[in-house]
Homo-oligomer: A and B are copies of this chain.
Amino acid sequence: MTSARPFNFSAGPATLPEPVLCQVAAEMLDWGGSGMSVMEMSHRGKEFGAILERAEADLRELLAVPANFRILFMQGGGLGENAIVPLNLSRGGKVDVVVTGSWSRKSAAEARRYADVHVAAEDNGREIPVGWTLRDDASYVHVCTNETIDGVEFHDLPRLTNGVPLVIDCSSHLLSRPIDWQRVGLAFGGAQKNIGPAGLTLVFVREDLLGHAMDICPTAFNYETVAANHSMYNTPPTFAIYVAGLVFQWVKQLDYAGKRGLAAIEQRNIDKAGLLYAALDASAFYENRVAANCRSRMNVPFFLKDDRLNETFLAEAKDRGLLQLKGHKSVGGMRASIYNAMPLEGVQALVSFLQDFEARHG
């Protein structure tokens, strides 16, 4: 069955592990002998309670989330969090943002509705800028650790020495690599890249940052309320949490290059990205414009030197079973998103197509 499915390079919602989809299909009418689909279960019943508890425990184990962090299952996505984070953490004070591309720029703009926002450094999606002008009295510093559109990734988190909490928007590389929690105050990400269906947002928040929400923060989006109710203040996106839980189990069981679990998936991501960037760099026909030290393992934007070939490229790719390679409308060109669930074979097939297309059109 695997060989029959095309390879799907969507930036998100994105490809999911085929064994997970098979299990979801098999359990659709009857989860675990309950006689119910997971979609049909009361969120307060013992069946869904067990699903949520296991999902949270597996995620905590996979990412080695420390005990003083709470994991919240929320709604509203990254764009929702752009408001929800300052509503909870800014105290109406100062927020520093490092702009590395489209998403951090959006975060800065939205935070301005609630706080005094200072852009501490800025680059236009090609590299991570240096010389950050941070303020010691900021409520937090915001960075986007993987810019989905621009393809810029932090391979090391910044170490803030002034005691100001670091907030990371890690939507598009969450669960693809370990997180150095010593450097983080809050991390958030939409599920629809590496984790599950759209409509689920994961928030990891250090406990000392709870309890400082602004009065105008909607109760359903108040981290303290969500944490106190174990993500059950309002009805959580139960089915999306169930699928995410199956993905966590899939990652835990993954073997690759003598490694297992998150270490295996990270190594596979390193190898996949290395293969694709090497092919792009070896050619004068294609171009990736991101500085080598911050190229994303997840999202690889590239351009054909002759952009009149774009439509032909996309049509031929689709015929080969290589789907959703079109770049984001704001930057044009192509983008291959090679998240956790993209097998090595998918990247090999893409590289083979890149070379073949160049041989015929270059």
Name A's B-contacting residues (CB within 8 A): 1, 5-6, 8, 10-16, 18, 21-22, 24-26, 28-30, 35-37, 39-43, 45, 75-80, 82-84, 87, 110, 113-114, 190, 192, 196-200, 215-216, 218-221, 233-240, 243, 321, 323-324
Contacts and interface: CB of A to CB of B under 8 A. Distances in A.
B199 A79 contact: no
29 contacts: A1-B29, A6-B36, A12-B42, A13-B39, A13-B40, A13-B43, A13-B238, A13-B239, A15-B36, A16-B37, A24-B28, A25-B29, A39-B197, A39-B243, A43-B198, A45-B324, A80-B218, A80-B221, A82-B218, A83-B218, A83-B220, A113-B216, A113-B219, A192-B238, A197-B237, A199-B235, A216-B216, A237-B240, A239-B240
Contacts of A84: 218
Given A13-B42, A79-B234, A237-B240, A28 B29 contact: no
Contacts of A87: 218
Nearest to A28: B25
A79 B220 contact: yes
Contacts of A110: 218-219
B25 A8 contact: no
Contacts of A323: 35-36
A80 B217 CA distance: 11
Contacts of A221: 76, 80, 83
Given A15-B36, A21-B29, 11 more contacts: A8-B35, A13-B41, A13-B43, A13-B239, A14-B40, A18-B29, A35-B321, A43-B198, A113-B218, A216-B216, A239-B239
Given A13-B43, A80-B75, A238-B197, A113 B8 contact: no
Q: Is the interface of A mostly helix, strand, loop or mixed?
A: loop
A235 to B, nearest CB: 5
A21 B40 CA distance: 10
Contact of A28 (B28, B199, B234): B28
Contacts of A76: 75-76, 80, 218, 220-221, 234
A199 to B, nearest CB: 3
A5 B35 contact: yes
Most chain B CB inside 10 Å of its own CB: which residue of A10, A218, A240: A218
A41 B10 contact: yes
Given A83-B218, A199-B239, A234 B10 contact: no
